[in-house]
Amino acid sequence: MDTHCPYCALQCGTRLAQERGAVLVQPTDFPVNRGGLCQKGWTAPSLLEVPDRLRRPLVRRGGELVPVSWEAALDTVASGLDRVRRERGPDSVGVFGGGGLTNEKAYLLGKFARLALGTSQIDYNGRFCMSSAAAAGTAAFGLDRGLPFPVTDLGGADVVLLAGANPAETMPPLMQHLRSPDLIVVDPRRTATAERAALHLQPLPGTDLALALGLLHIAVVDGHVDGDFVRERTDGFDAAWRRAMSWWPERVERVTGVPATDQREAVRMLAGAGSAYVLTGRGAEQHSTGVDVVSGFINLALALGLPGRRGRGYGCLTGQGNGQGGREHGQKADQLPGYRMITDQSAREHVAGIWGVPPEVLPGPGRSAYELLDALGTDDGPSALLVFGSNPVVSAPRAEHVVDRLRSLNLLVVADFVPSETSELADVVLPVTQWAEEEGTMTNLEGRVLRRRRLRPAPGHARSDLEVLHGIATRLGEPGHRYPTRPREVFDELRRASAGGKADYAGISYERLDAGEALHWPCPDVRHPGTPRLFLDGFAHPGGRAQFAAVEHRDAGEQPTELFPLTATTGRVLAHYQSGAQTRRVAELNDASPAAFVEVHPDTASRAGLAHGVLARVTSARGSAIAEVRVVPTMRTDTVFLPFHFPGDGRANLLTGDALDPRSKMPEFKASAVRIEPHRDVVSE
C-alpha cells in the first residue's frame, strides 16, 4: 500500500506491507525522496507497536489517570466544557492543534472550535514553525507557500543559499537534490549541512538580518542587481535600499562576525549563477524579528531577480509533516479555510455559507499560540484547553511557565496516540489513530496534496480525531451531520470551503489523487492541472508585482550580560522529531541520541571548568537545563547549542523566553542569554 512518511514536510513516498503481523516499510520513487528514506522514516513502523501506546480513554480520578469507556470520557469532556462556557463564556475554552494533523483533522478542528465551542481561542504549534516566513512571503508575494516550485527544481541549480536550515539532519532525503549545487549555508553552527557547503557564513545568533542587509548592500554596490527584473516585476526597492545603504560589509562583520570577504563571495556566487535559489528555515524565523529577517533574505532574492522565474527562486523549508496544510484550513487564530483571513467579511460569508450558519456567528481572531498558552487560567484567558497532536510542555518557549499555566486549568484534554509530557498533566486523555491507521490528505512543503492511506485498524479502543470531534460536538448540542467522521466527506467539504481562496483545493479530489495525479494548490476546478510553480506570470498582489520590505536590524529580545554572557540557540538533531514524544520511543533512534546535550567551544568549556561528557547546567533568566557537554571546536566561542527534543530537566525551552515577533507572533527560540557551569558545583552549593 502506497502512502507517505509520518514525519517531516518532505512527506517521502513509502510502501507499507504486513508480514506475520509486522508492518514493513520501503521507500518509493516519489519525487521528493527518489527511493531514499532517513533513519526516522525507516523506523516509522515501530511507532505502531510501542508498548505504551494509548489504547483506552483515561480520566483523572483521585489524582490518577484511570481507564474508562469512551462514553464516560466524552461525557466528562462535554460536561466540563459546558460548565466552563456557561460560567465564563465561549472564549473560556481554548484549542491547541498540531502541524502533524491531516488536512481533514485541521479543517474540522477549526470548524469545531468556532461553531461547537464558539471560541476564538484556537491556534496550533505550527505558529512555532513557519509563521514568520508565512507573514514575510505573503507581504512580498501576496501568497504563502513553503516552496513555490517543486523540490526537484533544486537539483538543476548552480548555487543554493540556505539561511538557518540544516536539512542534512532535519530532512536528509532533500540532500540528494542539493548534491550538484554549490551551497552557501548561513548558520551559527558547523552543522552536517554546513560541512557540505562551498561557503559557510557563521553569524552570532540574532544577527541574521544584519547579514541579509549587508548582502543586499553588496549586491547593489558591486553591480549585481537585476535592474530589469526590479523595474518590471517589483515595487519598493528604493525604500529597502535606503535601509541597507548603511550596512557596509565591515560594519556587518563587526555585528555578525561574518568576514567581509565571505559576504562578498556569497553575493558573487549567487549573482554569477545561471540558476540560483535562496531558502530560509527555522534559524531565520525563530526570532522576535523573524518576519523582518525572512524579508531581508527575500529582498536579496528579489534584487538578484530570482523569484517567479524558472530555474531560480525563493522558498521556505517547512518543518512539520503538514505544516503547510495545517495552517491553510482554519487552525490558526486569524484564518479560515482556503487561507482566508477571519477578519475579511467576504471570507466569513463564504465559509459561513458552507457551514450553514450566519456570518456573525463566527468569532473574530483569537490569541496566537504562545499568547494562548500564557493566558491559560488567567482572569480573561481560557480555563479549559483541548490539545490535539501537540506537546507544548516540551515544545513551547518558557516551558516551566507553560507547565504552570496548564496546571492552573479547570480542564485539560489531550488527544494523542502516545503519552506525552503534556498528557501527563491532563484531566482526560483520548487515544487516537496515527498515520498507518487512518485515511486522509497531507500537504507537503511544495504545496502538493498527498493521500495518506490506512493499512490496518487502530489498536485497542483508539478512535480517529474526526470521531472524537463528532462525539464532543453532538454532546454539546450540535447536529451530527455538521461534523462528519469519514475523511473523504470532510475533504469534500474542505474543497468547497477553500474554493476561491488563496489555497484553493476545489479541484483536488480523492479520485484524482488515487489516480496518481500530482496536484499542487491552487487547483480551482477538476479540469485544472494544479500549480507546481507559482508566480511565473505574476505575483499574487494586485498588479502582479512583488514587494520589497524596508527592514532594519534590531537586536534580539535579550542580549548577553555579565551574568549571562553567552547566547544559547536551539534546534534539531538527526535522530529525533519535534518534541521527541514519538522518536524517543523508537529504540534505534533513542540509542542514537538518548539524552539532552549542549555543544560548547573548547575555550568556552575550559573557562567554565567543563570537559567533554560531563553534565553542565545551562541557565537563563527563566530557568536551567541540565545537559551533557559536547566540546565542538567549530562552535562560536560566544554561543552554545541545545536540541529541544528532550523532556524533564533537559528541556532546552526551559531557557527560552517570551519575546514574540510583533507580526507573526513567533517566539524567540534562537537567541537566549545564558551562562554555563558544571552541574555538580551547582548541586553542591
pLDDT of residue 115: 98
Q: Which one, of 390, 492, 480, lies nearest residue 439 by Cα?
A: 492
The burial class, CB within 10 Å (0-12 / 13-18 / 19+), for 358 is exposed
Judge if 386 and 404 occupy the same domain.
Answer: yes
- Report phi then psi at 278, rounded to 5: -115, 125
Judge if 198 and 88 occupy the same domain.
Answer: no
Which positions of the chain have pLDDT values less than 50?
Answer: 682-685
Q: H or E element: which one contains 392?
A: helix 392-395
Contact 602, 158 (CB under 8 A): no
**Which CATH number do you get for residue 102?**
3.40.50.740
pLDDT of residue 92: 98
Contact 669, 411 (CB under 8 A): no
Tell me whether residue 547 is in a domain. no
* Domain boundary residue, one of 286, 317, 348: 317
CA distance 283 to 581: 22
Contact 40, 34 (CB under 8 A): no
Q: DSSP 3-state assignment of 590? A: helix
Judge if 191 and 263 occupy the same domain.
Answer: yes
Judge if 184 and 259 occupy the same domain.
Answer: yes
Judge if 312 and 166 occupy the same domain.
Answer: yes
- Domain holding 161, by residue range, is 131-317
Q: Are strands 313-316 and 335-336 parallel, antiparallel or unpaired?
A: unpaired
**Which CATH number do you get for residue 9?**
2.20.25.90
Judge if 110 and 195 occupy the same domain.
Answer: no
Tell me whether residue 219 is in a domain. yes
Q: How many domains does the chain have?
A: 4
Q: Which one, of 190, 187, 182, 258, lies nearest residue 218 by Cα?
A: 258
Judge if 303 and 373 occupy the same domain.
Answer: no
Q: For 87-117, what is each residue's pLDDT tens digit?
A: 999 999 999 999 999 999 999 999 999 999 9
Tell me whether residue 525 is in a domain. no
- Residue entry with cell 504563502: 144
* Domain boundary residue, one of 428, 462, 485: 485
CA distance 61 to 67: 10
pLDDT of residue 680: 76
Tell me whether residue 145 is in a domain. yes
Contact 104, 442 (CB under 8 A): no
Judge if 470 and 338 occupy the same domain.
Answer: yes
Region for residue 356 given its phi and psi (left: phi exceeds 0; alpha: psi -120 to 50; beta: otherwise) = left
pLDDT of residue 533: 98
Judge if 98 and 113 occupy the same domain.
Answer: yes
If you ran DSSP here, which 8-state letter would residue 289 be given?
Answer: T
Tell me whether residue 649 is in a domain. yes
Judge if 313 and 173 occupy the same domain.
Answer: yes
Judge if 303 and 166 occupy the same domain.
Answer: yes
Judge if 663 and 679 occupy the same domain.
Answer: yes
CA distance 561 to 26: 51
* Domain boundary residue, one of 317, 347, 381: 317
Which residues lie closer than 8 Å to 407 by C-beta, 6 or more apart?
425
- Residue entry with cell 558591486: 222
C-alpha separations of 73 from 53, 425, 429, 469, 589 in Å = 18, 16, 8, 13, 33
CA distance 186 to 600: 19
Q: Which one, of 46, 41, 48, lies nearest residue 3 by Cα?
A: 41
